[in-house]
Amino acid sequence: MPQPGLPDRVVIHEVGPRDGLQNEAALVPVDVKIDFIDRLAAAGLHTIEVTSFVHPKWVPQLADAEELITRLDRRPGVRYPVLVPNERGLDRALDHGLREVAIFGSATESFAKRNLNRTIAESIAMFAPVVTRAREAGCAVRGYLSMCFGDPWEGEVPLDQVVSVGADLLDLGCSQLSLGDTIGVGTAGHVTALLDAFGERGIGDDRLAVHFHDTYGQALTNSFSALQHGVTTFDASAGGLGGCPYAKNATGNLATEDLVWFMHGLGIETGIDLAALVSTSQWMADRLGRPSPSLVVRALSSSD
């Protein structure tokens, strides 16, 4: 049983195949990606963000998006969302029969200009027809908001600024907003303050997810703060794949295995077979030619 005041179950939104692999310098073969996704589904992950329909020039690692989607054996009961940066990306997703998409915005002007080549206002205007058309086509739309806690150019980001941009994305029609600690500088108190600020705006925890990076070793502490507040959707990346290229020495995304171990220790259900997930991440680490940064993967793999 979970501790009093905590939920019985959480949803883990797996981002390894997209966010985790997109910054890999060496191209990962599409066969490996498909096998990775299938192994994740077999381990009990029911929401797996698989790719992005972005122009290959910007993210060469995801140039195989259409081949991957075409060949992927989509299991019943498993959700396979994709990131769409603009209307062209949405067209590609709809052409393949996908009905769960995500957009990726920024809470700061500096990152919006570097990542989207637009101001925040211009990016919201770009997303508006994407969300409208997606909803008209029967799609669920998730909004990612990056730099919610700190920005390498602007420093700590004011709470009201994050809430304002996040509210704009939800007002467009996003069904969920994922709050990203892109450079891993968030702390437990900051998490609570930000969630309180959203609540004061009338945006409840049921509409929010959290996406933590473990740069300063705070991802699980921050997750507990969000959990206590009432958030029940957590982003994570199998094996701790991925990271932010803008944060020096960043250790990447919160590892799914570390999050699952943590949740299970609290008596909270995830629906995930931890042993199968560890085996999957070890398998992927072998293919990438380096050990997984996940402490749980390392501990359980060494104990075999």
Catalytic amino acids?
Answer: 244
Sheet holding 51-52, edge to edge: 11-14, 233-236, 208-212, 176-181, 140-146, 100-106, 82-83, 51-52
The amino acid occupying position 240 is G
Tokens of 201: 């705006």
Evaluate whether 241 touches 282 at the Cβ level (below 8 Å): no
The amino acid occupying position 280 is T
Burial 100-139 (b: 16+ CB within 10 A, else e): bbbbbbbbbbebbbebbebebeebbebbeebbeebeeeeb
Phi (first) and psi of residue 144, to 5 degrees: -95, 135
Q: Which of 272, 191, 255, 181 is nearest to 224 (CA)?
A: 191
List, in order, residues 6 or more apart from 25 with CB less than 8 Å away: none
The SS3 assignment for 65 reads helix
C-alpha separations of 157 from 106, 127, 184, 191, 193 in Å:
11, 22, 13, 12, 12
Evaluate whether 112 touches 144 at the Cβ level (below 8 Å): no
**CA–CA separation, 79 and 85 (whole Å):** 19
Interior angle at CA 96, CA 93 and CA 98, nearest 5: 60
**CA–CA separation, 167 and 92 (whole Å):** 27
Tokens of 108: 């700061």
The SS3 assignment for 96 reads coil
